[in-house]
Amino acid sequence: MFPKNWKLDRIQEEIAYVYENTVAKGIGQLEKKPTDLFNKFIGESSNGFDILVEVDDVGNIMNAYPYLR
């Protein structure tokens, strides 16, 4: 879960931040498994924890959530 003190706009800002620094630059992509529906990218939020962003083949964000290693 995202931090409880984050409102929806903060969550959206952090997801956009990670998107701009991973998907848009083509870095941080995980290997796609045959069962994966979307491409997965992991990037660090401005707070320092990882967020996994799932995007379709044209780059639309489909899911995003904190990534715990």
> From the CB of residue 47, how many other CB atoms can be counted at a distance below 10 Å?
12
The distance from CA 69 to its chain's CA centroid, rounded to whole angstroms, is 14
pLDDT tens-digit map of 17-61: 999 999 999 999 999 999 999 999 999 999 999 999 999 999 999
- Prediction pTM value: 0.91
Decide: 2 and 11 in contact? Cβ < 8 Å: yes
